[in-house]
Amino acid sequence: MPAPGSPAVSVVIPVYDQAAYVGEAVRSALAQSLPYGEGLEVVVVDDGSRDETPRVVAAFASDPRVRRLRQENRGRSSARNAGLAAASGRTVAFLDADDLLEPGALSAGLAALSGAPPGALAYGRVAYFRDGAPGEPLPAPRGLPRPCGRAFAALLRACFLPVCAVLVPREGLAAAGAAAFRDGLERLEDWDLWLRLAAAGVPFWPHEAVVARVRVHARNTTLDGRAMAESKLGILEGNRPLVAEVAAREGRAGRLRSSWHLSRAQALRALGSPGAADLAVVRALAADPTNLCAALVEAARDALARVRPVGRWLARVGLRGRDPYTPDGAAR
C-alpha cells in the first residue's frame, strides 16, 4: 500500500527500442498539472533496449519525479509489472512509450475517481494520430461500449479500453492478484487485465475527457491482425472460468456464454477459420437465443466480407469487424 505522503499518481512507461518516441512520452507525463499539493511520479522501465533509449531516458535523471529502471528483455507485461512494483503513487496510469498523455489527463481521471465507488477504475477517451502528422487526427473507432459500473459483459466482446485511457487506484489493481499483467502476453495484455478486474467486481467509471493520443506507426503491435486474433483466442480460453464466476454473482449466464462464443467467432474468422467461427455462432445462439441480433450481425459481417469489393466498402464505413484499437485510416 502507498505510504502517507506518497504521490497522487504514478505513470508507468515500459519501453523497448523506442528512442525516437520515449522522450516525448515522458515529457507529456511530466507536463501534467495536478490539484494543489498532489505529487506526480513517472516510472520508466527500459526492457533491455538495444537502441539509444537508455541515453534518451538518462536525460531525465535530474528530475526527481522520474524513476528509471532497466531490466533484461522480458517483454512488455514484465516491464509493466516491474514499474508497478517500483511505483509509490496512490493511483496508477499506464502510458506506452510511443503514445502521449493529453494536458489535464491525470486531473480529469482524479476528478472522475472522486465521484466513483472505492477502488473503481476511471477511463477517458483517446485520440489517434499518424506518426509524423500530430496535427492530423485519425478518426476514432466507432460504436465501442462505455459501460459504467459492471463491465465484464462488454469486455467479453471487445477490448474497448486502450491502456493509456485508464487511471486506477492501487486497491483496484490489487484485485488482479500479485502480477497485474500476465508475463508472456505481448498483445492484448491490458484486455486480459481488464477482464480479470471486471470479473473481480472492480467498477469501471467513464468520463468524457480525451486523456491520451495514440500514435499509429508501422511498429504498432496491434496492426498484426493474425497475432492479435491468436492472442484474443488465448485470452478468451484462459479466462473462460471467469464467465461462470461472474454469472454466479450477477446472473445472465446465458448472455455471458453467448458473448464469449461470439468473441471467439470474430477471432476465428480473422484467422481464416470460417467453419469454426460459424460453429461458435451456433453455440452462442444455443447459450442465449435472445442474442440473435448480435449473432446475425457477426454472421452477416463474415458473409459480406467474403466479397472483396463489399469488404472494402464495409471497412470504409466502419462496419467490418476489426480490432477496436485500430482506428479508421490506420495502416493495415
Between CA 321 and CA 188 the distance in angstroms is: 17
Cα–Cα distance measured from residue 252 to residue 246, given in angstroms and rounded to the nearest whole number: 9
Can you give the residue ranges of every domain in the chain? 9-223, 225-317
Q: How far apart are CA 132 and CA 149, in angstroms?
A: 37
pLDDT at 297: 65
pLDDT at 318 (0 to 100): 47
Contact 92, 9 (CB under 8 A): yes
E-strand ranges in 170-234 read 204-216
First and final C-alpha spacing in the chain: 42
What are the per-10-residue average pLDDT scores of the chain (332 residues)? 76 96 97 89 96 96 96 94 95 96 96 95 93 76 85 90 95 84 89 95 95 86 82 93 90 88 90 90 87 64 52 48 42 36
Residue 191: how many other CB atoms lie within 10 Å: 24
For domain 9-223, which CATH number applies: 3.30.70.20, 3.90.550.10, 3.40.220.10, 2.160.10.10? 3.90.550.10
The single residue listed with the C-alpha cell 449466464 is 253
Residue 184 CA: distances (Å) to CA of 81, 178, 239: 12, 15, 15
Q: What pTM does this model have?
A: 0.85
Burial of 247 (0-12, 13-18, 19+ CB in 10 A): middle
Q: Which pLDDT value is given to residue 319?
A: 46
Residue 36 makes CB contacts below 8 A (sequence gap 6+) with: none
Q: How many CB atoms lie within 10 A of CB 1?
A: 8
